[in-house]
Every structure is written in structure tokens, then in C-alpha cells.
Structure 1
Amino acid sequence: MTEPVSETRLRLQDEYLERAAEELLSCDERLRGLDLEVRFDRGVAHLTGEVGERAHLDTARELIGRLDGVFAVWDRVRVGGRDPLILDLGCGGQKQYPGNLGVDLVTTGEVDVVADLSGPLPFADSCADRVFLVHILEHLIDFLPLVDEVHRVLRPGGIAYVLSPWWRYVNAVADPTHVRLLDVQTIKGICRRPGSSRTWFPLHAGCDGASIFAELRPVKDGSVEEPDAGHLSRFFD
């Protein structure tokens, strides 16, 4: 069984990863000169700043995500002078980034749109650049309709960020409001679901011994090809 990474190791890894990422940004020809900042929190890279083209951000995300010890790469970056529209679903009292659009059923100071996540999302097709699904899926008996709605509202090239407790970790069962258990293999099932037109390209997926992380890009409008078996083998059995 995979053991959760200790707090001490997480802190030391974050310090190491920040130095490594800063070196990439300053020395790698593909990234040098980009106006990006990166910080790490428990193995999650947080990218902020501004780039001229989406391809620049995609390259930065990919290279930073390859560093050993990185569990996820989250970003809030201006692209081509435009602020991203980021939906923070089920944000409760804390958004992942202050500028996100908070969505939840219960009103708090962080909630901008009141909506029931078990039903259709009150957003237009292909309107969002990023969607956060942080500690949400485990609370829904059937989370696939929500996953399909996220696929619908994401722009081509957008990304859904998933974070949920790993099924073998005590927190997955300690909370009585958790009704689903997830594994990295669950993410594989989301990406290639038989009979569904809502397929996903996994940019990153993994487990730190306590949580499941995934970054998923919707396959739509020719923006990205469906993942082949070789790509899926990077993350899944």
C-alpha cells in the first residue's frame, strides 16, 4: 500500500521543486523570458503570470509536470492579454485562486453563483478555460453527469482539475458525506467511457498516498486527439 508523503518531506520537496522549476524557467530555451511565477504547495505546482500564446503555457505546464515529485500543475495565467475564466465548483468558503468564479449550492462569501452540482451547470457551452473539481466527486452518488457538464462548458484546450481522496486512505471513509471511492483507475474510466462522446485527454494523473490528482483536457472540436494506449500507459494500468 502506498503511504502518504510525510509533512516534512512535502515541505522539503516543495522547496526543491520551486528551485528546479525556477531553473527551468530561467534556463530552458523553450521557457526563457516567459512572465511566469511558480510556487509549490504539497507537491502541487501553482503557475501564475502572463504569456502571449496558449502554446507557451502548455509547454511550461508539461515541463514542470515532468519534475519528479510533482502531483499536479494548476494555473491561473493570462493568455494573450485575456484573464482566464475559471470555475471553482463546490468552492464552499475557499476558492483555489481569488479570481475564480465560485459555484456552490450553499451561499458563502466566496460563492458567486449558486447552483446544484448534481444538475446542469448554468453556463454556456465552451465558456470556461479551467474548472476546479476539488473534493467534489466523492460527494456525488453519480458524478458522471457533472463530469459531462464540465466537458461541455470547457473551451477547446481547457483543463479540468480533479482532486479527491484516494480510496485506500482513511480520509476517504472517515467523512460520512463521502458516497464514492476513487482511484487513479477511476480517472482512466472517465477518460475513455464506452458509449460516451465526452472523452478526455489526461495531461497528468497520479496519487500521493492520500489523494487522487488528475488534469483532464476535453477532446472536442479537433483541439486535441483522443489519447492512445501508449499515452494512457503513462498513468494507468
Structure 2
Amino acid sequence: MTWNGGAAPYGRRRMAALDRQLTEAARDLLAHDDRLCGLAVDVRFDGAVAHLTGDVPDGKALLLVRRLIGRLDGVLAVWSRVRVGGRAPVVLDIGSGDIKQYPDNLGVDLRPASGVDVRANLAHGLPFADACVDVIFAVHILEHLIDFLPLVDECHRVLRPDGVLHILSPWWRYVNAVADPTHVRLLDVQTIKGIAERPGSSLRWYPLHAGCDGASIFGDLTPLGEHDERPDEVHLARFFE
């Protein structure tokens, strides 16, 4: 659901109703779509973000679940803690501070805090090996960095080929984007497109999903290899101008 107007975000009552509707629609899809029947996956929505849990046999099955649920009208992002082939995902929360998106995520930040498991200066890279992580949450962190592209490149490096980077940042037209004096960058849904296809960079991303709720922008990106297929115009038209 790309936001093109200047109105305020949904109120709490409307968002709660939307979450109930999306949860019902997604569970109906999981139960009755022939492509998904038999997969041990559950979903709930919070703030129009899908939260997937359960087990799938392989990464292709998880990608299919993500893709089909992501097509429901009103979905802003699809977040997953699904076990693939019996293995729990390795999940990083970069710039976590006191709050991690899920309690068992590995929090990474410069300063000690209740949500920090690994202390590291994100401006100097991520202290993890290549292709060792399944999911990275970059929630309210990019807007604090004058140049966030090196950190995005580091996320590309440490993610497995079918991994996902979740970006959440204040939308540039909403007051919270400029009310915080520590915000040094302003982001839009189009920024997600710019990250995915950055001129002059060999590190490309496939945008699985992108959206805006009138206050925040969301982006789900998976890393592309040198020979992987790029997204076509039909896919990009769902999210971007």
C-alpha cells in the first residue's frame, strides 16, 4: 500500500480492524490455496505488517508464502520467524538499543543497552561472516546515518542468498521525520527502489515488498547475486513510481 497523499496515518481503531481483516484473509489463504495447503505456517498482522511463524521444508516454500500473503491489499511488510528445513533463522536487529523486534533476535549496537547482545560501531561494518544471517532488521536506524549505504552493503554481505533485510524508517512528509534532531536523512518509498537498483554498485537487491502508512516507510529486500534475475517492471509497479 504505497502512500501517495498527505493525510494522517490510520487511527488505532481502523488499524486494529485492518489487522483483523488481514489476519483472517491470510489464514484463509494458507488454509485453502492449493499452493500453500499443508504448510505449517501461521500469520498474524500488527500495524498491517504480517508476522509469520511455523515451519516450511525449504526456502522456496517460504518465498511463496511471503509472495502470496504480500499480495493482499493493505500489507505493508512481511516479517518472518519461520523455521526452514528444521532450522531456526539467524536474525540480527541492528541499532537495536533497548528494543528488539523479536526477543530472540541478536541485537547489535554501539552502546550497551538491554536489547544489545553484540556491541559494534555500525559505521565500521558488521562483525559477522559472509552469508551467515537469514534476516536483518534495520528499524529506525538509517535515518540517523549521513551515509547509510555502506551499512546496507554490509547487510548484503552477511545475508544468505535467500535472506531478507527489513527497513523501517520515518516517512519524510510526516512530522516525526523532522521532529527528532538526530535524524540526518529523510526517506521515501522511492528510496527503497534507489537502494535496490543503485547506479554504479554491483550489489543489487530484489524488493519483495515496500509501502508507507503515512508515518513510516517499509522495505523488504533480498540480496541478488551477479547472475540472479532482476525484478521486472510489472513487479516494481506495485510499489514504485
The equivalent residue for 2:10 is 5
Q: How high is the sequence identity, in percent, across the aligned residues?
A: 64
- For residues 230 and 15 of structure 1, the distance between their equivalents in structure 2, rounded to whole angstroms, comes to 29
The equivalent residue for 2:139 is 134
8 Å Cα contact 1:43-1:70 kept in structure 2: yes
The equivalent residue for 1:202 is 207
The equivalent residue for 1:217 is 222
Question: Secondary structure at 1:33's aligned position in 2?
Answer: coil
8 Å Cα contact 2:93-2:100 kept in structure 1: yes
- For residues 27 and 97 of structure 2, the distance between their equivalents in structure 1, rounded to whole angstroms, comes to 32
- For residues 19 and 236 of structure 2, the distance between their equivalents in structure 1, rounded to whole angstroms, comes to 27
8 Å Cα contact 1:184-1:236 kept in structure 2: yes
Matches within 5 A, 1:1-237: 1-3=5-7, 4-220=9-225, 222=227, 224-237=228-241
Over residues 72-128 of structure 1, what are the superposed CA-to-partner deviations in whole Å (9 max), with x where a residue is unaligned? Answer: 100011100111111110111121112211101111222111011111110011111
- For residues 19 and 231 of structure 2, the distance between their equivalents in structure 1, rounded to whole angstroms, comes to 30
8 Å Cα contact 2:169-2:217 kept in structure 1: yes
In structure 1, stretches of 5+ residues that fail to align are none
- For residues 183 and 109 of structure 1, the distance between their equivalents in structure 2, rounded to whole angstroms, comes to 30
- For residues 182 and 141 of structure 1, the distance between their equivalents in structure 2, rounded to whole angstroms, comes to 12
Over residues 139-163 of structure 1, what are the superposed CA-to-partner deviations in whole Å (9 max), with x where a residue is unaligned? Answer: 0010000001001111101110000
Amino acid at match of 2:63: D
8 Å Cα contact 1:156-1:221 kept in structure 2: no
- For residues 152 and 222 of structure 2, the distance between their equivalents in structure 1, rounded to whole angstroms, comes to 12
Give the TM-score, by structure 1 length: 0.96
- For residues 43 and 103 of structure 1, the distance between their equivalents in structure 2, rounded to whole angstroms, comes to 26
8 Å Cα contact 1:201-1:217 kept in structure 2: yes
Amino acid at match of 2:30: L
Shift of 1:179: 0.5
Shift of 1:25: 1.0
8 Å Cα contact 2:207-2:220 kept in structure 1: yes
In structure 2, stretches of 5+ residues that fail to align are none
Question: Secondary structure at 1:118's aligned position in 2?
Answer: helix
Higher relative contact order (CA 8 A, sep 6+): 2
Aligned-pair Cα RMSD in Å? 1.1
Structure 1 outlier segments of 4+, above 6 Å: none
Question: Secondary structure at 2:194's aligned position in 1?
Answer: helix
- For residues 125 and 210 of structure 1, the distance between their equivalents in structure 2, rounded to whole angstroms, comes to 34
Amino acid at match of 1:230: V
Q: How many residues are matched?
A: 236
- For residues 124 and 200 of structure 2, the distance between their equivalents in structure 1, rounded to whole angstroms, comes to 21
